[in-house]
Amino acid sequence: MVDWTDEERATINTVWKRVDLEHDGGDALGRLLLVYPWTQRYFSSFGSLSNAAAIAGNAKVQAHGKKVLGALDNAAHHLDSIKATLHDLSDIHAHRLHVDPENFRRFGEVFVIVLAGKLGSSFSPPVQGAVEKFFAVVVDGLSHEYH
């Protein structure tokens, strides 16, 4: 089990309230698809992803980002059981979708950047530390069923 300090729990709680569950996931997914264009291969059914405007205006990217964020929201509310919470999703990404788990880490990075842009000066080093730890645990959980 992961050890969370009271401060980390409080920080994640506070930061998570600032997350826009409707849009931040789509923004992060869009950024992933642009910064790491080879990740587009997993989303061939999503239509045009050829440039920033196409990605930003792609309703499927937005809808999928919302779905991803729903899972992260669930994890953020179950800090002591993230691995169990993400078990089924790990299985799906590993055995049905065959997503390279390195991409989970990349998604965490772009999400942190989206969050930093939103929070500005409130994105202090302790906040960054807690959020990075949260994503490290999420990535670990999502990667668990790969073997």
Provide the binding-site residues for ligand HEM, judged by CB under 6 A: 39, 42-43, 45, 64, 67-68, 71-72, 89, 92-93, 97, 99, 103-104, 107, 138, 142
Q: Which is nearer to ligand HEM, 68 or 115 (CB)?
A: 68
Supply the minimum distance, in Å, between the C-beta of residue 39 and ligand HEM. Answer: 4
Q: Which is nearer to ligand HEM, 111 or 123 (CB)?
A: 111
Beta-carbon contacts of 54 under 8 Å, excluding residues fewer than 6 positions away, are 48
Q: Which is nearer to ligand HEM, 2 or 71 (CB)?
A: 71
Supply the minimum distance, in Å, between the C-beta of residue 28 and ligand HEM. Answer: 9
| DSSP category for residue 96 | I
Supply the minimum distance, in Å, between the C-beta of residue 81 and ligand HEM. Answer: 15
Supply the minimum distance, in Å, between the C-beta of residue 71 and ligand HEM. Answer: 4
